[in-house]
C-alpha cells in the first residue's frame, strides 16, 4: 500500500466531516480531534456524575413519595448518562479510570453549575427546569456531532432528559401557586439559579478558545451565545406564565430582533467557579473521591469473586 501523507489524511478527514459522514472509533482522525473529544466527552461524563450530588441531597427529604420516586429516577438517569459517556470516551482509546482520576485530582473540569448549593426543595425545581433545560439546549445539537459514539449517546440522553425538565417545571409551578412562603421559596431558587444557568453555555463567543476549531470539525454546531439567546427566549415566557420574576432588571424585549436582551453576565464569578473557588467545588470533588475510595473493596471483591468462579470452572 502506498504511504499517505498526514496532510492528505487530514484533507480526507475534513472532506468526510464536511459531507456529514460520521467518524467512527477505528477511523483515522487528527490527534487534536481525538484529544478535543476526549476532553469534552470526559468532562461531560463528569458533569453527569457530579450532577447527581446536588439532587441526591434531597432524595431522603422529598416532600412526598411521588416526588421521591421521580427524583430517584432522575438521579439514576444521570448516573446512566455518565456511563454512556464514559463508554464513548473509551472508544477514543482513553482509559476510563484515568479520566476519573483526572476529575478527582482537579485536572479535569465539569459543569460549574454543580458547584452551587441546593439549600431548599425549590432548588430541585430550579435545577430540573433551568439546568436540565439549558443542558438539553446544549445537547440537542450534539446529537449531530461528527463523532458517532458521542452523537448516539446524546440521542439517548436527550430522549431521557425531557422528563427531567418537565418534573422541575412542575415543582416550580406548584410552589409558585402555593402559599406566600412557597412562592417566595420558588422565587429565591430562581434568583440563585438563573445567572449560573446562563453561564452554562460557556464564555462569550469571542472568549471561547476551542469554539472555532470545534465548529469546523462539526463537534459543535451552534455558538455559545446563540444557544444562550435561545435559552433566554424560551425561558422568560415560561417564568412569566407561572408568575416568577426574572432576576435581571436590564432584561427587555427587542421588538426588532424578536429576542430578549439581557443584562451583563458576571464572568468573574464564572471563572472563579471554574477555577475551583465556587461555593461547593471542594465538597463535590471530595464526595466523588470518597465514593471511589470507599467503594474500592466492593469492586475488588466482585473481581475476586469473578476470578474464583472462572478458576472453579476450569479446574
Residue numbers at the binding site for another protein (CB under 8 A): 24, 26-28, 73, 76-77, 80, 83-84, 87, 90-91, 95-98, 101, 104, 152-153, 160, 292, 296, 299-300, 302-303, 305-306, 309-310
- Least separation in angstroms between residue 210's CB and another protein is 26
> How much is the CA Rg of the chain, to the nearest whole Å?
22
Nearer to another protein, 103 or 246 (CB): 103
Do 103 and 46 touch, CB atoms closer than 8 A?
A: yes
Nearer to another protein, 76 or 245 (CB): 76
Nearer to another protein, 210 or 309 (CB): 309
Nearer to another protein, 160 or 170 (CB): 160
- Least separation in angstroms between residue 33's CB and another protein is 15
- Least separation in angstroms between residue 98's CB and another protein is 6
- Least separation in angstroms between residue 149's CB and another protein is 8
Torsion-angle region of 93 (φ positive above 0: left; ψ -120 to 50: alpha; else: beta): left
- Residues 6 or more apart from 299 whose CB is under 8 A from it? none
- Least separation in angstroms between residue 43's CB and another protein is 19
Nearer to another protein, 16 or 183 (CB): 16
Nearer to another protein, 261 or 300 (CB): 300
- Least separation in angstroms between residue 36's CB and another protein is 20
Amino acid at each position: 500500500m502506498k504511504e499517505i501523507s498526514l496532510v492528505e489524511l487530514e484533507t480526507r478527514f475534513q472532506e468526510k466531516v464536511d459531507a456529514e459522514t460520521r467518524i467512527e472509533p477505528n477511523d483515522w482522525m487528527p490527534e487534536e480531534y481525538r484529544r478535543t473529544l476526549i476532553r469534552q466527552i470526559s468532562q461531560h461524563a463528569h458533569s453527569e456524575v457530579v450532577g447527581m450530588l446536588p439532587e441526591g441531597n434531597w432524595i431522603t427529604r422529598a416532600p412526598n413519595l411521588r416526588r421521591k420516586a421521580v427524583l430517584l429516577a432522575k438521579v439514576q438517569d444521570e448516573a446512566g448518562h455518565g456511563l454512556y459517556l464514559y463508554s464513548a470516551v473509551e472508544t477514543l482509546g482513553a482509559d476510563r479510570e484515568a479520566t476519573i482520576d483526572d476529575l478527582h485530582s482537579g485536572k479535569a473540569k465539569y459543569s460549574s453549575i454543580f458547584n452551587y448549593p441546593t439549600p431548599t426543595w425549590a432548588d430541585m425545581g430550579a435545577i430540573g427546569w433551568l439546568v436540565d433545560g439549558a443542558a438539553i439546549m446544549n445537547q440537542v445539537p450534539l446529537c449531530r456531532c461528527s463523532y458517532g459514539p458521542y452523537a448516539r449517546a446524546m440521542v439517548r440522553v436527550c430522549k431521557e432528559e425531557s422528563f427531567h425538565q418537565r418534573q422541575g417545571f412542575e415543582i416550580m409551578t406548584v410552589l409558585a401557586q402555593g402559599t406566600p412562603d412557597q412562592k417566595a421559596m420558588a422565587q429565591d431558587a430562581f434568583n440563585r439559579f438563573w445567572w449560573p444557568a446562563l453561564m452554562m453555555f460557556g464564555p462569550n463567543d469571542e472568549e471561547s478558545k476551542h469554539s472555532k476549531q470545534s465548529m469546523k470539525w462539526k463537534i459543535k454546531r451552534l455558538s455559545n451565545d446563540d444557544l444562550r439567546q435561545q435559552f433566554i427566549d424560551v425561558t422568560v415566557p415560561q417564568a412569566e406564565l407561572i408568575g416568577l420574576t426574572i432576576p435581571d432588571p436590564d432584561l427587555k424585549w427587542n421588538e426588532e430582533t424578536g429576542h430578549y436582551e439581557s443584562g451583563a453576565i458576571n464572568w468573574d464569578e464564572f471563572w472563579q467557579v471554574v477555577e475551583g473557588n465556587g461555593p461547593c467545588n471542594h465538597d463535590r470533588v471530595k464526595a466523588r473521591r470518597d465514593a471511589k475510595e470507599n467503594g474500592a473493596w466492593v469492586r475488588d471483591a466482585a473481581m475476586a469473586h469473578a476470578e474464583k468462579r472462572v478458576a472453579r470452572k476450569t479446574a
